[in-house]
Amino acid sequence: MSEVAIDKNLQAGWKAVKLSGLASLKGGFAFKSKEYSEEGIPVLRMGNITKDFRINWNKKKQPFYPVERKKEFKEYLLTGGELIICLTDMSETGHYLGTVAINTKEAFLNQRVSKFQFDEDVLNKKFLYFALCNPKCRHYMISDDTGSLQKNTSHKHVLAYELDYPESLEQQKRIVAKIEELFSHIDAGITALNKAKKLLKQYRQSVLKAAVTGELTKQWREDNKASLEGWQQSTIGEIAVVQTGKTPKRSNPAFWENGDIPWLTSSATNNAFTHHADQFVTQGAVDGGLKLFGSGTLLLAMYGEGKTRGQVTEITFHATCNQACAAIIVNEEKASKDYVRLRLYENYEEIRKAASGGNQPNLNLSKARDIALPLPALAEQAEIVLEVEKKFDAINRLARDLDVQLLKAEKNKQSILASAFSGGLI
C-alpha cells in the first residue's frame, strides 16, 4: 500500500500521511439477532466499545453465536489484539463515531464495526491506537455525519485522516511507553476518585438507614424527652391514598390531539423532582376516567426492567400518569411527605425484590400500599428530614468536587495525547 504524503512542517524523522497510505479497514458481518445464542463466541458490536476507548464484555444483553459456526464465519473471527473502530453512533452528540479499542478476546466482528489491517513493522499498534484517541483525531472523526437519527462514518472518511508519525518504530515505541507511564499515574488517581464516589454512595445509603431506624435523631429524642418506643410500625397504605393511572387509547385522537394536561410515565422517576412533562392528554381523556394528581404527589415506578422499578419522584404540578406508576398522595396529618419519600429511597432494593412476574417483574398497587413505614411523631419526622438534607448537601458537594477532579484527569490524558502527537512528549 503506497503512502500518501502531505506537506507539513514536522520535526525531523516525522512524516504526515493519509491513513490510507498505511492501513486498510475490514468491516464486520450483519449477524442475525434471531440466530444469537446464550453462550458461544461473543459478537463484538458498536455497543461494546466505550467512550474511554475500551471493550466492555460485561453488557447484560451480550449476544453470542454458536461455536460450531466458527468455520462458516472465520472471515469475521477476531482472535484478540485487533485494533477496532466504531462506525455508528446512536447518541445525539455522535461522540462514539470513530471510537477505537483494542480487542481482548476471541469474538465475531459485527457490522458497523471494523478492524484495522496494517504492517506492524512500520506502524506500532499501540502508537496507532493512541493516535486515534488523540483529540485532533476525535474532532476529525465526529466531523463526519452521513446519517440522520443514526450518525455514521465510513471507511473512506476514517482512512482520509492525516496521521503524523515518526518513521522510526523505536521512537513510536518510546512514545507509547511514555504515554502509558503518564497514564498509569492518572489512572491510579481515577481509581481512587471512583472509589471515593462509591464510598459516598454507600454513605448516602447509610444516612437513609440511620434516618428510618431512629439512629440519626437519637440526640434529638434525648433533648426532647422522646423515645424510640414511640415509633409506630405503619404502611404506605395507612398514611396515603395510593392510585395509578392508565394510557388512553392512542388510536383515539380525542384523547391526545392538542392535549394540554401533563401525562407522565415511569421514566419521570429518573429525577427526584419532576417539573415538566413530555406528553399531554386532553380533558376528554380525564373525563374518560384518567385520574389527575396534584403537586406534591409521589410517583413510584412499578414497572421497569433496569433500575427504573422502585424509583420515586415528586411532581411539582398537576398531572396524570400511566399504569406503570403508583401515585402516592400522603395525608400530611399522619406523615410528612418528605419523610415518606426518604423511606422509599432507603427501601429501594426491597421494593424491587417485592416485584413479581416473568421476564419483566412488576409491582402492583397492593404491594405499594404494603410497603412498611417506620413512623415517628411528626416533629421527629421533620427533624429527620432536616438532618438528612444537611448531610446530603455535604455529600453532594463532595460528589461534585470528585466529578470535577475526574473531568480534570480525563483532560490531562487528552493533553498528554495532544503533546505526544505533536512531537512534544519526548
Q: What is the pLDDT of residues 385-416, one digit of tens each?
A: 999 999 999 999 999 999 999 999 999 999 99
pTM score over 0.95: no
pLDDT in the model for residue 1: 56
Residue 363 near residue 326, CB atoms below 8 Å: yes
Predicted confidence at residue 360, as pLDDT, reads 63
Q: Are residues 302 and 345 in the same domain?
A: yes
Q: What is the pLDDT of residues 271-285, one digit of tens each?
A: 999 999 999 999 999
Angle subtended at Cα 395 by Cα 389 and Cα 399, rounded to the nearest 5 degrees: 140
Same structural domain, 309 and 408: no
Q: In this structure, what C-alpha cell is assigned to residue 146?
A: 452521513
Tell me the CATH number at 417.
1.10.287
Say if residue 174 is in the same domain as residue 111: no
Are 355 and 426 in a shared domain? no
Instruction: Determine the structural domain holding residue 87 and report its residue range.
Output: 4-167
Same domain? For 86 and 126 the reply is yes
Let me know whether 11 and 158 are in one domain.
Answer: yes
Q: Give the separation between CA 232 and CA 209, rounded to whole angstroms.
A: 17
The reply to whether 249 and 359 lie within a common domain is yes
Distance of CA 215 to the CA centre of its chain: 33
Please write the tens of the pLDDT for every residue from 1-45.
555 555 555 677 899 999 999 999 999 999 999 999 989 999 999
The span from the CA of 314 to the CA of 296, in Å, is 6
The pLDDT, as a whole number, for residue 68 is: 94
CA–chain centroid gap for 214, Å, is: 34
Residues 284 and 189 in one domain: no
Name the residue among 326, 316, 129, 320 with its Cα closest to residue 236. 326
The pLDDT of residue 243 is above 70:
yes
- Is 192 in the same domain as 258? no
Reported as half-sphere exposure (CB side, CA atoms, 13 A), residue 334 has a value of: 16
Q: Are residues 82 and 209 in the same domain?
A: no
CB 417 within 8 A of CB 179: yes
- Please state which of the ranges 140-149, 349-358, 405-414 shows the lowest mean pLDDT: 140-149
Query: Domain of 22: which CATH number?
Result: 3.90.220.20
- Residue 59 binned pLDDT confidence (cut-offs 50, 70, 90): confident
195 with 121, same domain?
no
How much is the average pLDDT of 174-194?
96
User: Do 78 and 208 sit in the same domain of this protein?
Assistant: no
Give me the number of domains the chain comprises.
3
Helices (H), 70-147: 125-133, 135-141
For cell 428510618, the residue is: 212
Q: Cα 323 from chain centroid?
A: 25
